[in-house]
Structure formats: C-alpha cells, structure tokens
A and B are shown apart, each in its own frame.
Chain A
Amino acid sequence: MQTEATLAQADVSDLDLVTRCQAGDTEAFDELVTRYRTRVFGMIYNMVHSEQDAWDLAQDSFLKAWKSIKRFRGRSSFYTWIYRIVMNVTIDWLRKKQVKGGGSEFDDSIQLKEVEPASKTVPKTEALPHEMMERSEIRARIDKAIAQLSPEQRAVILMKEIEEMQYHEIAEALGCSIGTVMSRLFYARKKLQNLLRDVYENI
C-alpha cells in the first residue's frame, strides 16, 4: 500500500525523527504524525465505526505518543510502537463503551445507521450511483460483522488483513504472545466467515 509513510521514508527515517522528537523537536513529531495519521485513523475507524470517535482517539493516541516518546528505545519500529499506543487507547475506549452501554456484545448496529451512503466507504475515484450504493451496503455488512467481534479480535484481524502485519508485530502491538494472536485470528476469521460468506461468495 502506497502511504504517506512510504512516500516520505526516503528522506528521513522514523528513527531519526524519533531521536529529534526526544530532544523536544515538535516539527519532527509533526512529520511522524503526517506519515502515520491516515493509517492510524483508518485503523481506529475500522474498530469503532464512528468518524468523530476515531478522530478523537487518533488525536489522543498521538498526544500520548508525544508524551512518552522519550521512553521509546528503538527495540521495535516506531510504527509498531505507535500501534501499541493506538490499540491500548482504542481497546480501552471500546471496553468502557461496552460497560456504559450495558450489555449488548459489541453490537454497534446503531452506529451503522449513521454511516452516510458513499461517505468514506468509497474510493475517491468516481463510481456509478448503483455501485456506490452496493459498496455502501457491503461496507455496512462488514462493519456490523466486525462489531460482533471482541475488541482484541477486531484489532488482530484488522492488523493482519488490512495492515498486513506479521504475527510478532501484532503480538508486540497488543502486548500478548504470538500464540494468542494466532488463536484470536482463528476465531475472528471463523466468525467473519460465518457472517460474511454470502458477501464474499457473491462478488
């Protein structure tokens, strides 16, 4: 995937920027934000299904990263490190929301109604109205299916399938073992296959 991160990587490495950040250089951090903001936002959005919440959580994640950047030792990539913060912030938020919501197991169906047809569910290339409608419906089905997974399962399946992260990177981002990642992936896939079989079989 061609991202802002890959486009800018040729100039200065993440590690150089992190070193400058650790010396208090806010412009270097701004560059890191520019590199990862789209991916971070997209990841959170796919977990919470609300643009406003995703915006706030992404902001919160970057601010937490800035506050703790002096503790970054470079043992993993900055990308994995920021994902760990993102996952902590987002999973914690989802858990609190579940408690406040009082019960229904990750059922975000109310939020799904708020998805505007063809808002951010459609690529920026022009599409015909019926195609847009169809994709919007597919997106709504996927969001509804993902909403039925636990926060940890959502995180694992999205990091694997969308971000194409390795097991050990996911494990590091979630602070768990590789075995746990694989196990969660197994159950997440099974559940999504049951819920979305008719979607991917008919495309």
Chain B
Amino acid sequence: MKTFEEKWTAWLDGQLSGPELSEFEAALPDKAAAEAEKAEARKLGALLKRELSVSALTNEEFFSHQIRETIRESSVPSADREARRSAWWTIPRLLWTGTASLAVFLIFTIFVMRDKNPAEESQYLTQILNARVDPVVSPNATVSMFEVKQDRVTVLWTEGLQSLPADYAAK
C-alpha cells in the first residue's frame, strides 16, 4: 500500500498508469492545482539539471594520477616497505647502537677497574657459608670460610661444634 507521498511522487514523474493513475487523479481534491504543482516540479527539475550539471572536475588527469599513486603505494609488498623503512632508519639506528655500545663499555670498564684495585680491598675475602651443621647435634655451631687470595689459602673456621660427625670429615 503506497502512501500519499509515494503516489504523488510517482504521479509527478509519470510513473503511475492504468487504474492506479485514474484512481489517484479521481481522488485529487483540486486537479488544476495539482497540475500546476506538477508543472512547478518540472520547472524545478529543469533548473537543477541546467545549473548543477556543470560542476566540472578540473585537473582530471591529476585526479586519476593521485588515485593510481595511492593504489600503487598500498600494493607495494610489505617486505619492500620494510626494506625501505630499514634504509630510512639506518642513521638513527647507527646513532642508537653507538650510544648503547658506549654505555656498555663504560659500565664494563668501571666494574673491571674497581675489581682490579687492591688498595681498596681488605686482605681477606670472607664468605659466609649457608651450610649449617645439624642443630640437634650442635645447636650453636657456625661455619665460616676465609680465603686469602694472596697466598691462595682457604681456611674453614668452625665454632660451637660439640662433636664432628663422621660424614663431615674433610677429604
């Protein structure tokens, strides 16, 4: 079921025919006014057609060229794009690599130099062993290890041992 607007539009555009046309025209309250409006609509259409059909595209070739370029750019394989990007980033990447290498070198140098400065170290390097003797056998026992680097000697110092189990014997 068409609405009045749809029927009116179809009538203006000459799209109604047969019984639909006669039925519509018979239902019009003022046929002369409707015909006048139909003529107006045609004048409006003619005006629009005449005035708006001339919106010409200037630089037609450039328009097509721009589309071609965009399509070409988007169809370049990703590997090629990656290669281009790599070439583009060579100088920044070199700068970053150089800076990072310098930083690593400086850190490494500082640690090595500090290690090799015996004046700042004590004669003995002491390491506390985490190992503990059996708390049931010797509850207050502690074990320490001293290393004298200069003489290449290691001393195992124990305190509070009440007895030395057989399997603790030095080999």
The residues of B that contact A160 with a CB separation of less than 8 Å are 13, 45
Majority SS at the chain B contact face: helix
Known contacts A26-B72, A193-B40; is-contact A162 B5 (Cβ 8 Å): no
> What separation, in Å, do the CA atoms of A156 and B60 have in the docked complex?
26
In the complex, whether B26 has a CB less than 8 A from a CB of chain A is no
The answer on a CB contact under 8 Å between B57 and A196 is: no
The residues of A that contact B71 with a CB separation of less than 8 Å are 26, 29, 63, 66
Q: How far is the CB of B150 from chain A (nearest CB, A)?
A: 77
In the complex, whether B141 has a CB less than 8 A from a CB of chain A is no
Most chain B beta carbons < 10 A, residue from A30, A185, A196: A185
Q: How far is the CB of B28 from chain A (nearest CB, A)?
A: 15
The residues of B that contact A66 with a CB separation of less than 8 Å are 67, 71
Report the count of interface residues on B (CB-CB < 8 A).
38
Q: How far is the CB of B42 from chain A (nearest CB, A)?
A: 9
Q: Which of A5-13, A38-46, A72-80, A93-101 contacts B (4 or more CB under 8 A)?
A: A38-46
Known contacts A37-B63, A58-B63, A186-B9; is-contact A1 B53 (Cβ 8 Å): yes
Q: Which of B48-107 contact A (CB under 8 A)?
A: 48-49, 51-58, 60, 63-64, 66-68, 70-72, 75
Q: Nearest CB to that of B6 among chain A residues?
A: A182
The residues of A that contact B68 with a CB separation of less than 8 Å are 26, 30
Q: Which of A189-203 contact B (CB under 8 A)?
A: 189, 192-193, 196-197, 199-201, 203
The answer on a CB contact under 8 Å between A121 and B49 is: no
Q: How far is the CB of A115 from chain B (nearest CB, A)?
A: 11
In the complex, whether A157 has a CB less than 8 A from a CB of chain B is yes
Partner among B10, B12, B60 whose Cβ is within 8 Å of the Cβ of A189: B12
In the complex, whether B162 has a CB less than 8 A from a CB of chain A is no
The answer on a CB contact under 8 Å between B5 and A187 is: yes
> What separation, in Å, do the CA atoms of A192 and B40 have in the docked complex?
11
Q: How far is the CB of A85 from chain B (nearest CB, A)?
A: 13
Known contacts A189-B44, A200-B43, A201-B43; is-contact A138 B51 (Cβ 8 Å): yes
